[in-house]
Structure 1
């Protein structure tokens, strides 16, 4: 994938003719020529020529986006004062992790105790859990800071992850677009998008998964630049020595790839679906290595990648990912009360024999426990009123209601994960366009967005029988919005475009972004649990399946 074809700074770029463009006839009067760019482009170029204004834009734009993200995720975070949806599992698991080192069982009426501010009702009996501990440890940190009876403490860890997700989205967008405008657009869309807001305001695991998955993908981008530079140096040295290059080098020192492996391991330590991101981006790394070797002139670039670099890349990324995942279970290993710690479901289990007889007993029990979790996941098919198969996620056919309370006076409160319809449906349409564009142009921003979609959405299509929910899509939503931003960048074109194309493009994008913001203001009460009249509430249910 090429790095930056067609994604220049799209507002205020210096006016110069494109390569191959027909130069204007000097004899033609200026008044009869078609102007390049727009008045906004020319004004913007003048403003950005002032270093102080340029610096204020580069830092102030992203800072404003982060402020919006913080306000939409933190204001009123303690409402409602009760466990909503799957908080009943993750908040209680987090509290026992913090006190026992493992997830323990609770009595049936424990939620009422939490609502009353008393989280002390747990037992010491290990509880079977469906997801690894890391996300719950992050929830636990917030609870330890404010107390287990404070709903703000239940949710602050995930809310901070949601704000960091916006920041990381902008950092990643800047890496792929090299445009401050598109960086602000990508982060701004995520900051005001309803599903992202809701999933940052409830103590579930999926926003934490999204953060680590995007971090791993960002580090893969950094690794690509690092590896390409070192490959070029190696090739230059061989060329200077007059040596022919057949297979190319095996690059061992790739710190960004090591870090990416750790980040993907952290994602898999929140939910097992993080493994899909590791697998997809590991393959993508090899493809990019092969492309770079071919560009550099390596004779056997494909076989050199497969037989020399691939084993090294595997050793640099997969073992550290496994180590991070195993480390997330430290509390379970260090204590004796966790579920299956001394045998699954209270049974001792037969010790391993033969070549595996040396494996310590706790590791054997842990492996049996993971097998039980895997069996649960592939068989999980409990009917649920808000279940939504993955094939419907792009259309927002069945968003999840996290909380609803009819106050009996003609008003109600709700927290419903309805995405900003304009943003979500535009992003879905954009991804269809980007599939075609990538097939034709191999652009890095487009390919990056499609990789995230492949890792976060496509694997779920393989399990149509499993119970799923729309909010799982937050894991790939940053990639989705980076893809939408790429499409916006294509529509905007360049500040060097003729005004006959540029001006309508600026108006179209400006109106679209303005409508997205208005849509957020309209749906915000549905995402944050405000008290609103029932008639206003009903006006938000555009589709029957949203009710």
Structure 2
């Protein structure tokens, strides 16, 4: 029987995630704010914006052909991202309708005959709204505070970068959602495992057993992330490390000898199963390509005089497709006016211009309609100080929450430095999207440290800290409101537009 001193029981006791009705009312309010700013005027501007010209068409091809399709030349389309995000866009096109650039390929929605732009943007807006919901509940569980959970959700909901990615049919919002959801599932798995250990040592029995359902669900979600964009793989080592770290910590708390070795011995089987689940989900996303004969490279081996066995031949062709796509990603150096480097991203050094129009007069005289992929400046310029403060506080407090936030933030940002320095690959600021929620969590972690722990002895400090934290959130909201027209493409007089170009030529299109 394992000893169970009071300190061990406290360490293992997880935060009660259920909350009271008030916490759900507060969550609902934040999600409502997120939904309103994401769905209002979603079909404007008209037409396909930025890379919607690829993904909206790819979604329609998947819906009608089972694979991405080039309708102009009536041939399979060569694409370099997995299909899942485009399948999700296709669902919106099925529900609300679609048209191509020439108006030749038209379809009314099965549910509502809406503006076609609404169709391909609707799934992305849903993903953005759901990510805010997850953010509130994950931050609440992480910090043990409904106030901090709602603050995290509100900061994410009113970030311009997140808002723009929630209103155009790119893949990055889906990637953000699945990475964040994977972390949330692993967080619940951590609590469930610690609860199981608590029940075990309380009852005086052996180590807990059973199926780690939340861990398996996290594997499903991570498979969805990889099936959206391969860059999700940057997060895999960190998620694996977190699972092992948290499990070893639980074993250490109950007095297990050599907790890391015990964790590797007892959990490796489940981790292998999780790997199988990830691969299975990823392959399932390619089902349209695998189960039809029309996909690009679908019969590559047969077309080049090689044997093509059933099933195995299809997988070999898929491997060749992946090899070609990897070469494309690794060597992409075509210049683009909105490209930027990773060291510019958190400083908002070069945002992406998604849309720009100034009809009726020359530039400098006409009103300007622009959608700029710009984070709310006050929030984004807080990220680097918050990450530094989180590092210091995490070390000083030996706080696992700070470690998790920092590791995932690094996984979403640092690998791109390699591609920038070694390969000089062309890249864009939206590559950092899946790390965004964790940058926000770093800010909220620091706000929580400012507020301090509860208790009468901390009354004055908590009052001052609460006022300072609330003032910061209000200032971020006001900053978001000031730039709002640039996030949704509303027309501004040129002079008002120019006033918002705070970094001059770096933000000018």
Q: State TM-score, norm by structure 1.
A: 0.82
Q: 2:322 aligns with which of 354, 370, 381?
A: 370
Moved more, 130-139 or 508-517: 508-517
Deviations 1:467-492 (A, max 9, x none): 11111222111111111111100011
1:233 Cα shift?
4.6
* Alignment pair present for 1:126 and 2:76: yes
SS where residue 381 of structure 2 aligns? helix
Q: Distance in 1 between matches of 2:215 and 2:398?
A: 22
Matched, 1:253 2:224: no
- The equivalent of 2:5 in structure 1 is none
Asked whether the equivalents of residues 371 and 488 of structure 2 are also in contact (C-alpha less than 8 Å), the reply is yes
Distance 1:406 1:491 in 2: 45
In structure 1, the partner of 2:135 is: 169
Please tell me whether the aligned partners of residues 448 and 479 of structure 1 are also in contact (alpha carbons under 8 angstroms): no
Instruction: Give 1:341 shift.
Output: 0.2
8 Å CA contact 2:179–2:222 kept in 1: the answer is: yes
Q: Does 1:462 align with 2:441?
A: no
User: CA, structure 1 residues 349+234, in 2 after alignment: closer, same or farther (shift >3 Å)?
Assistant: farther
- DSSP-derived class of the 1:415 partner: strand
1:184 match:
150
Aligned CA distance change for structure 1 residues 129 and 426 (closer, same or farther; 3 Å) = same
Could you tell me how far 1:404 is from its partner in structure 2? Answer: 0.3
1:546 pairs with 2:503: no
Q: Is 1:137 matched up with 2:87?
A: yes
Displacement of 1:104 in angstroms is 1.1
Structure-to-structure mapping, 1:439-454, within 5 angstroms = 439-454=395-410
**Structure 2 CA distance, aligned partners of 1:4 and 1:542?**
49
Q: TM-score, normalised by structure 2?
A: 0.88
Aligned positions of 1:473-512 closer than 5 A: 473-496=432-455, 497-512=457-472
| 2: CA distance, partners of 1:297 / 1:183 | 33
CA drift of 1:319 comes to 0.6
Q: Write out aligned runs for 1:68-217 (5 A).
A: 68-107=33-72, 123-149=73-99, 150-217=116-183
Q: CA RMSD in A?
A: 2.4
CA distance in 2, matches of 1:315, 1:515: 47
Q: Residue in 1 aligned with 2:108? A: none
Note the alpha carbon deviations across 1:403-427, whole angstroms, 9 max, x for none.
0001234201010011101111112
Distance in 2, matches of 1:58 and 1:307, equals: 40
- Partners of 1:332 and 1:358 in 2: how far apart? 14
How far apart, in 2, do the equivalents of 1:184 and 1:236 lie?
34
Deviation string 1:340-372 (CA, Å, 9 cap, x unpaired) is 00007x9436448xxxx8962111111111111
- Of 322, 326, 332, 2:279 maps to 322
After alignment, is 317-326 or 426-435 more displaced?
426-435
Distance in structure 1 (CA, Å) of the matches to 2:81 and 2:64: 19
CA contact (8 A) 1:395 1:425 kept: yes
Is the 8 Å Cα contact of residues 161 and 200 (structure 1) preserved in structure 2? Answer: yes
Matched, 1:304 2:262: yes
Q: Distance in 2 between matches of 1:76 and 1:240?
A: 59
Paired residue total: 471
> 1:427 and 2:383 equivalent?
yes
Q: Secondary structure at the match of 2:241?
A: helix
Cα offset for 1:391? Answer: 2.2
User: Which consecutive residues of structure 1, in runs of 5 or more, have no partner in the other structure?
Assistant: 10-53, 108-122, 242-247
2:368 to 406, 412, 415: 412
User: How far 1:447 sits from its partner (Å)?
Assistant: 2.4
Distance in 1, matches of 2:282 and 2:136, equals: 27
Q: Give the greater-gyration-radius structure (CA).
A: 1
Instruction: Give the Cα–Cα distance (whole angstroms) in 1 for the partners of residues 237 and 343 of structure 2.
Output: 21
Please list the CA deviations of residues 190-242 of structure 1 after superposition, one character each: whole Å capped at 9, or x if unmatched.
111000000000000000000011111111111112222334455566x568x
Name the CA distance, whole Å, in 2 between partners of 1:494 and 1:133.
Answer: 46
Deviates more, 1:509-518 or 1:256-265: 509-518
Distance in 2 between the 1:100 and 1:183 partners? 43
Alignment partner for residue 339 of structure 1, among 296, 307, 316? 296
Q: Report the 3-state secondary structure (helix = DSSP H, G, I; strand = E; otherwise coil) of the residue aligned with 2:23.
A: helix
Q: CA deviation at 1:252?
A: 5.7
Answer whether contact 1:252 1:312 (CA < 8 A) is retained.
Answer: no
- The CA distance in 2 between the partners of 1:205 and 1:478, in whole Å, is 16
Q: Distance in 1 between matches of 2:305 and 2:235?
A: 33
Shift in alpha-carbon separation, 1:329–1:511, aligned structure 2, 3 A: same
The answer to whether 1:62 aligns with 2:7 is no
SS of equivalent to 1:463: helix
2:4 counterpart residue number: none
Q: Distance in 2 between matches of 1:303 and 1:510?
A: 45
Residues 495, 296 of structure 1: alpha-carbon distance in 2 compared, 3 angstrom cutoff: closer
Instruction: Point out which structure has higher relative CO (alpha carbons under 8 A, 6+ apart).
Output: 1
Conserved? CA contact 1:382–1:467, under 8 Å: yes
CA deviations over 1:265-297 (Å, ceiling 9, x no partner): 000000011122233101210111112112211
Is 1:399 aligned with 2:365? Answer: no
